[in-house]
Chains A and B, each alone.
Chain A
Amino acid sequence: MISISVRVLLLLISLATAIVVNLCVGDVCVAPGQAIHEIISTDPNLSTLHEILWQIRLPRICVALLVGTALAVSGYVLQALSRNSLSDPYLTGVSSGAGLAVAIAMISNVSFSVIPAAAFVGGLLASLLVASMARGAAGLSVGRLLLSGVGLSAVCSAFITMILIHASSVAQGQGLFFWLAGGIAGRTWTEIFPAFGYTIAGVVLALTMSKQIRLLSLGAQSAQALGLDVARAQWILLAAAVLMCGAAVSISGLVGFVGLIAPHLARRLYGQDERLQIICSAMLGMTLVLISDLAARTLGQGQELPLGTLLSLIGGPFFLWLIGSKHSREVLQT
C-alpha cells in the first residue's frame, strides 16, 4: 500500500514531467536544459527559440494548468454539492450554458476581458435552471440532475449551431468553430489573466469552504443539525464552481470530462482531507490537460487534433465505467 504522501510526491513528479515535456516537445524539439537557459536568458538579441518558448509554449502550458485546475476543482465542488461522483461541469450543462454565453459574446465582438464574465453569467443561469429541475423533496436528485444537464446541453448546442450558421463572416464562424471543439492553442498572455483571476478566486473559495464541504457530505439534514447554514453554503459553492467553469470555458471552449475524472481519482487516492483532495484534484486536472494537449499537437501528423475531442475519447469510457460501478448504480436510483 503506497502512503498518501508518496502518492502526492508521485503526482508532483508527473506534473513537473508533463510541464517539461510540453515545453520541450513540438515542431521544434529542445533539450530541457537549453529550454530553461533560453527562458531565463537576458540576451538582448532574442533567438527564435526564445520567442517560441515565451510566446507559444509557455502561454500554452499556463493555459493548460489554468484550464486543468478550473475544470477539476469546479467538478470537485459540483460533485460535493450533488454528493455524487457523476457530476461535472460538462454533464450538468454548466459548460454548455457558459459556452452559449461565450458564443453570443464572441459574435457581438466584445472585448476579450468581458468573455469570462459572460461565461460566468451563462454558467450560473444554466446551473440554476438544472438545479431547479433536479430539486426534489429530499434534495438534489442525481438522475434528474444529469438528465436536465443533458437536455439543457442539447438546447444550448442547438443555439450555438444557429449562431455558427449565422456568423457574419467566415473568419468569425471559423474562430467560433475551433473554440467550440475545445483547445488551448494560440492563447496569448493577455487572454490568460482574466481567467486566471476567476480561477484563483474559485479555488480559494473552495479551499476556504472545505469544512462546509465535509459537513455537506453527511447530507443536508445532518449538516443543518450540526449548525451549517446549508442554503448559504450551497450558494457560495455553486458560485465558486460556476466561476471556475466559466473561466475554463472562456479560454478553452467546451472541454469535457476533466471535471469528472480528476476529482473522482483525487477522492479515491488522496485520503479524507478535503483540502488535499482539492489540491490533488487540481494537479491531476493540470496533468491530464497537459498530456492530452501534448497528444493533440503531436499525434495529428501536421494537423492538431481538437483537445476537447481527445479528452472525450478518454473521459467517455471513464464515465461509462463509473456508471457501471456499484456506488453509481445506487445513487442513480435516487
Chain B
Amino acid sequence: MMTGKSPSIEAHNLNVGFEKHVVLENVSVQLVPSQVIAIAGPNGAGKSTLLKTIARQIKPISGTVKLNNVDIWAMPTPQFAGKVAYVPQDIEASTQLSVEKMVMLGRNPHQKWWQWYGNSADADAVKKALQDTEMESLRQKPLCQLSGGERQRAALATALAQEPEFMLLDEPTSHLDFKHQNELLVLLKRLRAKGLGIMIVLHDLNVIARIADQVLLIERSDNEGSRVAATGTVGDALSLANLKSVFDVEVTSFNDPNTGELVYNPFSLAKNTRVVTGE
C-alpha cells in the first residue's frame, strides 16, 4: 500500500449510478506514478462510468475519490485539471477550432482565468504535445475536418499539454489504425517511464497485455451494479477462466514465439459463434 504522502489517485468503495439505477458497486482502485492500470470488461459494465467518476465528471452515490489524499470534490476544478487529464471517448467534432488552438486549451489549468494568450512555457508544452502525437502537420486544420483517429490524437495532445501527474484515457485506440495504435503504446510507455500514472479503458486484450501493469476486470450484472471480478497483473486478472466467466466467451492464449509476450485469441469461431447461413 502507498503511504498517505505519496502521489496517488485513489477510489475507495465507489457506488455510482444514475437516478435509481446503480451502475457500479463497491469499486476500489489506486493509481500511482509510473503505473498503467487497464480497465476491462464487457459492454455496459460501467468502465467509462468508473473513469468519469475518477475524472471528477460524475459524483458517486457513495465512496470517495482522493487525489494525493485530498477529496477531488473538495478541490477547485482548475487545480484538479492541472494534475489529472481526462480524455473522453467521444471528442466534439463540430467546432471550427484548429488543432493547435485546441491543444493550447490544455494549458488552461495553468493559466489565469482571464489569460487569453499563452506564455513561452505554454507554447513549448503545446509544441511538444503536437510532436509527441505527430499532429504538427495538422496543427492548423479545423477539428471538424479531422478523421476520428486524428481527433483522438488531437485530444491526447491536449491532455499532454496539461502536463498532468495522472492521465485517464477512455478507449483512446478505438479510432486508431495499427500504426497509430503502436505509436500510442510507445508514447504511453515513454510517459510511464517519466513518472506519469495512466488509467486506461481498453477493449483489446492484446493491447492491454502490452501496456498494463495492473488490470481491473469489471463484471456486468443486469440486476445489480457491476463489480470488480478480478484485479492484478495481466496474467492473473485476465486468466482464461476469468475471461470465460466475465465475457461468456472461450478465449485462447499463447506466448508469441518471437517476443514471448502473451497473445489472446477471442475469435475461436467454432467454439464461440453461431454462424447463420442462408439468405
Residue of B56, B80, B96 with highest tally of chain A CB at under 10 A = B96
Known contacts A208-B114, A224-B56, A227-B82; A215/B108 CB under 8 A? yes
**Shortest Cβ distance from residue A85 to the other chain B in the assembled complex, whole angstroms:** 10
Whole-angstrom distance between the Cβ of B96 and the nearest chain A Cβ: 6
Contact status of A222 and B91, CB under 8 A, knowing A215-B108, A227-B82 = yes
Task: Using CB atoms, name the residue of chain A closest to B112.
Answer: A211
User: Is A83 on the interface with B (CB-CB < 8 A)?
Assistant: yes
Bound-state CA distance A331–B113 (Å) is: 30
A218 interface residue, CB < 8 Å from B?
yes
The distance in angstroms between the C-alpha atoms of A272 and B104, with both chains bound, is 14
A-B Cβ contacts below 8 A, count:
73
- The answer to whether A227 and B56 touch across the interface, beta carbons within 8 angstroms, is no
- Given A221-B57, A227-B78, are A331 and B94 neighbors across the interface (CB < 8 Å)? yes
Q: Which residues of B contact A267 (CB under 8 A)?
A: 96
In chain B, positions 80-139 with a C-beta closer than 8 Å to chain A are: 80-82, 85-88, 91-92, 94-98, 101-102, 105-106, 108-109, 113-116
Residues of B within 8 A of A208 (CB): 114
Encoded as 1 (CB less than 8 Å from any A CB) or 0, chain B from 26 to 47 comes to 0000000000000000000000
Known: A215-B108, A222-B88. A227 touches B77 (CB 8 A): yes
| Closest beta carbon of chain B to A216's beta carbon, Å | 10
B15 at the interface (CB under 8 A from A): no
| Residue A137 at the chain B interface, CB threshold 8 Å | yes
* A-side contacts of B157, CB under 8 Å: none
Residues of A within 8 A of B158 (CB): 222, 226
Give Cα A331 to B115, complex, Å.
31
Contact with B along A216-232 (1 / 0, CB 8 A): 01110110111111000
- Asked if B254 is an interface residue, CB under 8 A from chain A, the answer is no
Task: Name the residue of chain A whose CB is nearest to the CB of B76.
Answer: A229
Q: Which of B56, B85, B96 contacts A272 (CB 8 A)?
A: B96
**Does A327 sit within 8 A of B, measured CB to CB?**
yes
Let me know if A214 is at the binding interface, CB within 8 A. yes
Please give, as numbers and ranges, the residues of chain B lying within 8 Å of A219 by CB-CB distance.
Answer: 92
Can you name the residue of chain B whose Cβ is closest to the Cβ of A221?
B88
Q: Please classify the interface of chain A as helix (H, G, I), strand (E, B), loop, or mixed, using the class held by over half of its residues.
A: helix
A 201-221 contacts with B by CB, 8 A: 208, 210-212, 214-215, 217-219, 221
Residues of chain B within 8 A of A210, CB atoms compared: 116
- From 278 to 334 in chain A, residues with beta carbon under 8 angstroms from any chain B beta carbon are 327, 330-331
Q: How many residues of chain A are within 8 Å of chain B by beta carbon?
A: 25
Minimal Cβ-Cβ distance residue in A for B155: A222
Cα–Cα distance between A50 and B114 once the two chains are bound (Å): 45
- Asked if residues B94 and A83 are in contact (CB atoms below 8 Å), the reply is yes
B178 at the binding interface (Cβ < 8 Å): no
| Interface residue? B173 (CB, 8 A) | no
Partner of B105, one of A215, A327, A330: A215
Q: Is the CB of B108 within 8 A of A211?
A: yes
- As a 0/1 sequence over residues 71 to 106 of chain A, the CB contacts with chain B under 8 angstroms (1 = contact) are 000000000000100000000000000000000000
In the bound complex, how far is the Cα of B94 from the Cα of A330, in angstroms? 10
Q: B75 CB to closest chain A CB, in angstroms?
A: 11
Point out the residues of chain B lying under 8 angstroms from A83, CB to CB. Answer: 94
CB distance from A219 to the nearest CB of B (A): 4
How far apart sit A215 and B101, CA to CA, in the bound complex (Å)?
10
Contact of B57 among A217, A225, A327, A330 (CB under 8 A): A225
Given contacts A228-B108, A272-B101, contact A218 B92 (CB under 8 A): yes
Cβ of B64 under 8 Å from chain A: no
Q: Are A225 and B97 in contact (CB under 8 A)?
A: no
B18: contacting residue among A137, A225, A275, CB under 8 A: A137
CB pair A225–B88 under 8 Å, yes or no, is yes
Which residues of chain B are within 8 angstroms of A227 by Cβ–Cβ distance?
Answer: 77-78, 80-82, 108-109
Residue contact A229 to B18, C-beta cutoff 8 Å: no
Query: Which A residues form the contact surface with B (CB < 8 A)?
Result: 83, 137, 208, 210-212, 214-215, 217-219, 221-222, 224-229, 267, 272, 275, 327, 330-331
Given contacts A221-B57, A222-B92, 15 further A-B contacts (CB under 8 A): A137-B18, A212-B113, A214-B97, A217-B95, A218-B97, A218-B105, A219-B92, A221-B88, A222-B88, A225-B85, A227-B108, A229-B77, A267-B96, A275-B116, A327-B94
* Interchain residue pairs with CB less than 8 A apart (22): A137-B18, A208-B114, A210-B116, A211-B113, A212-B113, A217-B92, A217-B95, A219-B92, A221-B88, A222-B155, A224-B57, A225-B55, A225-B57, A225-B85, A225-B86, A225-B87, A225-B88, A226-B105, A227-B81, A229-B76, A272-B97, A330-B94
| B interface with A by C-beta (< 8 Å) | 18, 55-57, 76-78, 80-82, 85-88, 91-92, 94-98, 101-102, 105-106, 108-109, 113-116, 142, 155, 158, 162
